[in-house]
Amino acid sequence: MRVLGIETSCDETSVAVLEEDGRILSNVVSSQMEMHARFGGVVPEIASRHHLENLPAVFEESLSRAQTPLEEVGLFAVTAGPGLIGALLVGLSAAKALAFCLGRPLVAVSHLEGHLYSPFLSADGAPARVIAHPFHGLVVSGGHAELVRVEEDRIVPIAHAGDDAPGEVFDKVARRAGLGYPGGPIVDRIARRANPKRHPFKVGKFNDGSLNFTFSGLKSQLVRELEARGIEGDRREEDVDAGLADLLAGFQRSIVEQLVDRLEAVRRREGMERLALSGGVAANSEIRETLARWGTEREIEVFLPDRALTGDNGAMIAFAGLRRFRREGPREYLSANARSRWPLGS
């Protein structure tokens, strides 16, 4: 059985075809990043309109690359949330129409569950890796930070972003520094040639005893620091001087340290054998290197997603849909609704 996955929750229109063993036959992603770049972030109405325009071509391209006639698709999976409602509705409506016309089952998938299992997929045509339970999952993206424990039959939430999401602060700080959008990859590159120790920041924490993430204080400190240094207007990445580069490196280091701080707390509290990192921010080189090292030192198996699968894509949605379908079987889908909020484990 082949699975077709559709993702339209934010600014990527994506359709993928997967084999039952998780092999990715095609994963076509059309990014609208450039459309939104001049606004410094995703504009919901523009996103929905572009999904509507792009989806038919992305869909055709995905089937064609997978050399899969539509009749050979045995299961449809689509992101139903969390995300921008108008954007989600484009994918969801298309998926319902396809499933209905072909008489095939459809699974409405959580975007975060898609990210969660993405480290087990391979971007180069190999079957999905075997998933042993329990494992801990850390999803870090432009809209979310969620730390969970994944058991055979349930997902247990441990911590979430109490204010800004990590990708969001990367984007906001980079925009304030005049560096463009999305900010994550830009800061990542700048930090590689800088010294994070010259400008250390404290690791953010709430006072309520929770392990929830907090990044908005860090963002404010950065903005104040940029103001104090008189940094204004746009600049090219190459023109960033050593002072600003060190500041950005210190900022990134503080995000990495907070992630490690929470993981360490969980490891001490309940033990940890395996960790799966995912989401757009999981492309960050320092996060990847630090967590890989952290895991090796503690004999924790750390699963990092292929860089090509860290951003939003249909393959992860098809895979999460396939897993749900195997566990729960066919469900009534015509009444499935788009949800702007949908925390993991709910």
Separation between Cα atoms, residue 335 and residue 332, nearest integer Å = 7
Q: Which residue in the set 22, 180, 279, 305 belongs to the binding site for ligand KG4 (CB under 6 A)?
A: 279
**99 to 138: interface string for Zn ion, x by CB under 5 A:** ----------------------------------------
Q: Which residue in the set 3, 4, 6, 10 belongs to the binding site for ligand KG4 (CB under 6 A)?
A: 10
Phi first, then psi: give them for residue 3, nearest 5 degrees.
Answer: -115, 135
Complex with ligand KG4: residue 185 or 217, whichever CB lies closer: 185
**291 to 320: interface string for Zn ion, x by CB under 5 A:** ---------------------x--------
Separation between Cα atoms, residue 306 and residue 183, nearest integer Å = 20
Q: Which residue in the set 113, 155, 284, 336 belongs to the binding site for ligand KG4 (CB under 6 A)?
A: 284
Output the smallest distance, CB 167 to ligand KG4, in A. Answer: 3
**235 to 274: interface string for ligand KG4, x by CB under 6 A:** ----------------------------------------
DSSP state of 276: E
Pairing of strands 2-7, 106-110: unpaired
Complex with ligand KG4: residue 167 or 250, whichever CB lies closer: 167
Residue type, 244: L
Which of ligand KG4, Zn ion, none binds 171 (CB below 5-8 Å, type-dependent)?
Answer: ligand KG4
Separation between Cα atoms, residue 332 and residue 155, nearest integer Å = 22
DSSP state of 164: S
Q: Is the C-alpha dihedral spanning 324, 328, 332, 337 positive or negative?
A: negative
Which of Zn ion, ligand KG4, none binds 217 (CB below 5-8 Å, type-dependent)?
Answer: none
Quote the tokens at residue 312: 């939003």
Q: 336: part of which helix (H) or strand (E)?
A: none
Separation between Cα atoms, residue 48 and residue 134, nearest integer Å = 37
Complex with ligand KG4: residue 245 or 272, whichever CB lies closer: 245
Q: 229: part of which helix (H) or strand (E)?
A: none
23-50 per-residue burial string, b: 16 or more CB within 10 A, e: under 16: bbbbbbbbbbeeebeeebebbeebbbbb
Pairing of strands 155-160, 145-150: antiparallel
Quote the tokens at residue 52: 């509507």
CA-based Rg of the chain, rounded to a whole angstrom?
Answer: 20
Complex with ligand KG4: residue 19 or 312, whichever CB lies closer: 312
Which of Zn ion, ligand KG4, none binds 185 (CB below 5-8 Å, type-dependent)?
Answer: ligand KG4
Q: Which residue in the set 79, 141, 212, 254 belongs to the binding site for Zn ion (CB under 5 A)?
A: 141
Complex with Zn ion: residue 13 or 141, whichever CB lies closer: 141
DSSP 63-74: HHHTT--GGGEE
Which of Zn ion, ligand KG4, none binds 311 (CB below 5-8 Å, type-dependent)?
Answer: ligand KG4
- Helix ranges, 103-207 (H): 111-117, 166-176, 183-192
Site for ligand KG4 in 129-148 (CB under 6 A): 141-143
Complex with Zn ion: residue 27 or 141, whichever CB lies closer: 141
By CB under 6 A, residue 281 contacts ligand KG4: yes
Which of Zn ion, ligand KG4, none binds 114 (CB below 5-8 Å, type-dependent)?
Answer: none
Output the smallest distance, CB 279 to Zn ion, in A. Answer: 6
Complex with ligand KG4: residue 8 or 26, whichever CB lies closer: 8
For Zn ion, the binding residues (CB under 5 A) are 141, 312
